[in-house]
Amino acid sequence: MFSFIIDVKACADIVPENARKRDDQFGIPKACSVEELLADPEIEIVLNLTNPWAHYEVNMAALKAGKHVYVEKPLAMTRQEAKNMIDFAKSRGLLIGCAPDTFLGAGLQTCRKLIDDGWIGKPIAANAMIMMAVSSEIYHKAGVGGALFDMGPYFITALVSLLGPMRKVKGSAQMPFPEKTVYDVNHAEYGKKFKVEVATTVSGVLEFDGNVIANFTATCDGFRYWPRLEIMGTEGVLVANDPNMFSDPVYVQRRGGEMKEMPLINKYDKDSRGLGLVDMAYAILNNKRHRANEQLAYHVLDVLHGLCDSSRSERYYRVESDCVRPEPFVEGSPF
Ligand SMILES: NC(=O)c1ccc[n+]([C@@H]2O[C@H](COP(=O)([O-])OP(=O)(O)OC[C@H]3O[C@@H](n4cnc5c(N)ncnc54)[C@H](O)[C@@H]3O)[C@@H](O)[C@H]2O)c1
């Protein structure tokens, strides 16, 4: 599907063996070092799939080599790093795109159309939660940032796509278990005790334009995977799919009616990771704005940090960043 606009030319990894494995797995023309990849004049976009703590370094190296960048979430670990990257890219006329792109999938685009077409009336409130059971040590390190920075981007991005940017947030960040044990029997470090470095359960109130409010919880202290996204409006309620996925059924219940499963609006209902990158490639070729863009990703990062800042200060955080609600992505889009 994506080969019309993207040719995968090479893959690289700081661990050469990892690059060779992916090269074999996907039949990529060349596995090489990061330096070789960046020196290759044929490569126009670097898709950065490194760990969150390496995003900034790898993004900056790619931008300095004159490449556009599409990076996994989060955009960077700090606001300052993200700002540096965005300013640098702008000064060189390069684009930055950032995951997640699940908001372009069939489920969340159906939700977007249902809201835009007035099926639930005027949105009033939303309920968003991601509960997870995670016991690996790395997930609890500052370099990943717990459930908030790993899973938060899916939910906050979905909320921006559906309801617009946020203006104020109030958060409470907790660490219910300062020490944890790797309890997964299949994990190589099963039974190991480790110190938790980040808030692992974060809840907040998010305020949008037009007095729309949402509550959001991200936790990796739970006992199962349990994603929720529901939006209540003046005329009905919308039950969205898991924002971490491209689709699950989407339901609407209108005032006086029954809960109904709604038909999906675009065909990207399977694992369509890559849509955001393809959209960015299309934008480069056609001089358009890509949807999973740096402004959206920065706003999401700002909101995530804002929840933690607000927890520390015990005050609302007035979100200093802004973004434009990305254009809908419907069947019949050019690519
Ligand atoms: N694992 C998932 O299910 C999943 C899903 C969606 C998004 N993501 C995102 O994808 C990214 C990677 O996660 P993952 O689970 O695939 O991690 P991973 O550890 O399996 O893979 C990351 C790779 O990046 C390489 N790497 C690290 N630093 C590097 C550097 N400076 N230069 C070159 N290579 C470097 C590592 O050697 C490793 O091979 C993260 O941003 C994560 O948030 C992961």
Specify the CATH number for the domain of residue 238.
3.30.360.10
Residue 4 placed within a domain: no
For residue 262, the 8-state DSSP code is P
Residue nearest to atom 30 of ligand 1 (CA): 14
124 Cα–ligand 1 center, Å: 37
User: The tokens 């940032």 sit on which residue?
Assistant: 145
> Cβ < 6 Å from ligand 1: which residues?
13-15, 18, 34, 49-52, 54, 57-58, 72-73, 150
201 Cα–ligand 1 center, Å: 23
**What average pLDDT does this structure show over 38-43?**
98
pLDDT at residue 1, rounded to an integer: 45
Chain segment 295-335, per-residue pLDDT in tens? 999 999 999 999 999 999 999 999 999 999 999 998 655 44
Indicate the average pLDDT of the chain: 95
Residue nearest to atom 26 of ligand 1 (CA): 50
Q: Which atom of ligand 1 is nearest to the CA of 52?
A: 41
**What average pLDDT does this structure show over 44-49?**
98
Residue 71 placed within a domain: no
Chain segment 182-241, per-residue pLDDT in tens? 998 988 999 999 999 999 999 999 999 989 999 999 999 999 999 999 999 999 999 999
Q: Which two tokens stand for residue 137?
A: 């040590």
User: No. of H helices and E strands in the chain?
Assistant: 8, 16
pLDDT at residue 335, rounded to an integer: 44
pLDDT at residue 4, rounded to an integer: 75
Residue nearest to atom 18 of ligand 1 (CA): 51
Q: Of 225, 267, 2, 246, which is closest to residue 103 (Cα–Cα)?
A: 246
Q: Which atom of ligand 1 is nearest to the CA of 57?
A: 31
Residue 280 placed within a domain: no
Residue 111 placed within a domain: yes
Res 80 pLDDT > 60: yes
Give percent of the chain above pLDDT 70. Answer: 98
190 Cα–ligand 1 center, Å: 22
Split at pLDDT 50, 70, 90, the class of 247 is confident
261 Cα–ligand 1 center, Å: 35
48 Cα–ligand 1 center, Å: 8
SS3 90: helix
pLDDT at residue 331, rounded to an integer: 65
Chain segment 124-179, per-residue pLDDT in tens? 999 999 999 998 899 999 888 899 999 999 999 999 999 999 999 999 999 999 99
Split at pLDDT 50, 70, 90, the class of 269 is confident
- Scanning 3-123, the segments in alpha helix (DSSP H) are 16-26, 34-39, 55-64, 79-92, 106-116
The residue whose CB lies within 8 Å of the most ligand 1 atoms, and thus the one to mutate among 22, 51, 81, is 51
89 Cα–ligand 1 center, Å: 22
Question: 260 Cβ partners below 8 Å, 6+ apart?
Answer: 251, 252, 253
**What average pLDDT does this structure show over 70-97?**
98
Residue nearest to atom 25 of ligand 1 (CA): 50
56 Cα–ligand 1 center, Å: 13
39 Cα–ligand 1 center, Å: 22
Chain segment 279-294, per-residue pLDDT in tens? 999 999 999 999 999 9
Residue 298 placed within a domain: yes
Residue 331 placed within a domain: no
pLDDT at residue 281, rounded to an integer: 97
Range of the structural domain that residue 111 is part of:
105-267+294-318
Question: 176 Cβ partners below 8 Å, 6+ apart?
Answer: 200, 201, 221
d(Cα 67, Cα 40) in Å, to the nearest integer?
10
The residue whose CB lies within 8 Å of the most ligand 1 atoms, and thus the one to mutate among 11, 17, 49, is 49
Question: CB-based burial of residue 109 (10 Å sphere; 0-12 exposed, 13-18 middle, 19+ buried)?
Answer: buried
Residue 99 placed within a domain: no
Counting the structural domains of the chain, the total is: 1
**What average pLDDT does this structure show over 119-123?**
97
Residue 97 placed within a domain: no
